[in-house]
Amino acid sequence: MHPDGAAVDLDLGHHPEAHDVAVEAGESHGAQRVAKPVRRQRHWPGHSDRPPKRQRCRVAVDIALRFAVESAACVVNSLAPTAAAAAYPPPIAEDLARVEERLAEELVSREERLATIATHLLGAGGKRIRPTVVLLVFHAAGNGAVRRDDAIEAAVALELIHSATLLHDDIIDAGDVRRGRPSALRTFGAADTLVAGDFLFSRAFALCARFEPVVIRWAASACVSLTEGEIMQGRFRHDPAVTLADYVEIIRRKTASLFAAGARTAAHLAGASPELVEAMAVAGEHIGLAFQVSDDLLDVVGHPGRTGKTRGIDLRDGNPSLPIVLALRADPEFARLFARERLASGDLEAGLGRIHASGVLSAVTARAQAHVAEALDALRRLPASPYRRTLEALAQNLGDRSA
């Protein structure tokens, strides 16, 4: 039930700023030109964890090339059609390019296999929604200058944490495909994939060490929530007794907690007031909730060609997604089907058909839109700016993804 890989449309409307940004970014026939990333010198304390120079250069160049081709050149391509790729304000495009460079640097290891596994996931693309939210909130909530490097490092740490959870999720769910390619689990095996996830978590918290204690606590608390959400979801697998309240708590922990921590941290780094910091945490949480609910919907109605995922994974794995939870109340026969740990041939399509027939999908859409409305209400605490407008458009599109 982990959201990843679905396409999103980003429509900023007819804002003059969007046109100016497109011109400044140099968009031509779907290609985005972003500012050249500023190279940052990595500090290796005592050189104790630094790989040999030849290996380090070889791995770093390989990773950087993959990121340059697949992510940095058009970083919002996975969020939106290429025509909208230049719709982010120029500082965001620049910061996202720096995020990609820093991610590549953080994947370097003395053990090349670790870098290979991590790059297999991160080099496959991904929407980079969490870093984008961090950077947009940071620029919207402050002057965007004093702690800009810190905001970029926070965005990198957040994406590393998210990526670690994806590697672990594939082991838990026995996932075959991730981002349209064979999963790390299928390619490298469970043991090494597990260790690679731990590697990414460790890299993330090494980055967090630069921050004040409160930021580290927020990151750690989000990670605790992630683990609790995963265990709670497992507790309700194939359980027809799962309630709507159970579902909300699962996704609040498993998905929304990281969005909330990122938005809260970004506002704090921007020097916002405590009240605005907490308002951004609320906005981040509801953006995450809307994203997860719409991801649940795509699992039922999404086209595999667009989402990069097979339909019905939640039903197959017994994960209590929102369409499933609502259909359990509406259709006793569906409840009996959901309780089966192994679905017979044809049962998956039959189950998806019952979800459609139960009439609950409109309620799922309404729930996503309700979370979007809560997010927009919190975002109105920000001063008007292109950054806020982009955040609002992003929230609306994450909550209204079509098949």
- Residues 1-34 have pLDDT tens digits of 555 544 333 433 333 333 333 333 333 333 333 3
Question: DSSP letters of 41-90?
Answer: PPP-GGGTTPPPHHHHHHHHHHHHHHHHHHTGGGTTTTTS-GGGGGGS-H
Determine whether domain 16-398 maps to CATH 1.10.600.10. Answer: yes
**Which residues pair with residue 181 across a beta bridge?**
178
What is the tens place of the pLDDT at every residue in 151-182? Answer: 999 999 999 999 999 999 999 988 788 887 88
Domain segments of the chain as ranges: 16-398
Cα 348 from Cα 342, distance rounded (Å): 10
**Which residues pair with residue 28 across a beta bridge?**
31
Helix ranges (H only) for 209-273 are 213-235, 244-251, 257-269
| pLDDT at residue number 3 | 53
- The dihedral built from the CA positions of residue 71, 85, 34 and 89, taken in this order, carries a sign that is negative
CB 361 within 8 A of CB 338: no
φ/ψ of residue 31, rounded to 5: -105, 140
Scan for tokens 């975002």, then name that residue: 379
What is the tens place of the pLDDT at every residue in 30-44? Answer: 333 333 334 444 443
Q: How confident is the model at residue 343 (pLDDT cuts 50, 70, 90)?
A: confident
CA nearest to 352, candidates 310, 306, 290 = 310
In one-letter notation, the amino acid at residue 401 is R
The pTM (predicted TM-score) of the whole model is 0.80
Cα 79 from Cα 369, distance rounded (Å): 18
Cα 321 from Cα 328, distance rounded (Å): 11
What is the tens place of the pLDDT at every residue in 200-213? Answer: 999 999 999 999 99
| pLDDT at residue number 61 | 40
For 280-294, what is the mean pLDDT? 98
In one-letter notation, the amino acid at residue 92 is I
CA nearest to 285, candidates 371, 218, 220, 366 = 371
3-state DSSP assignment of residue 246 = helix
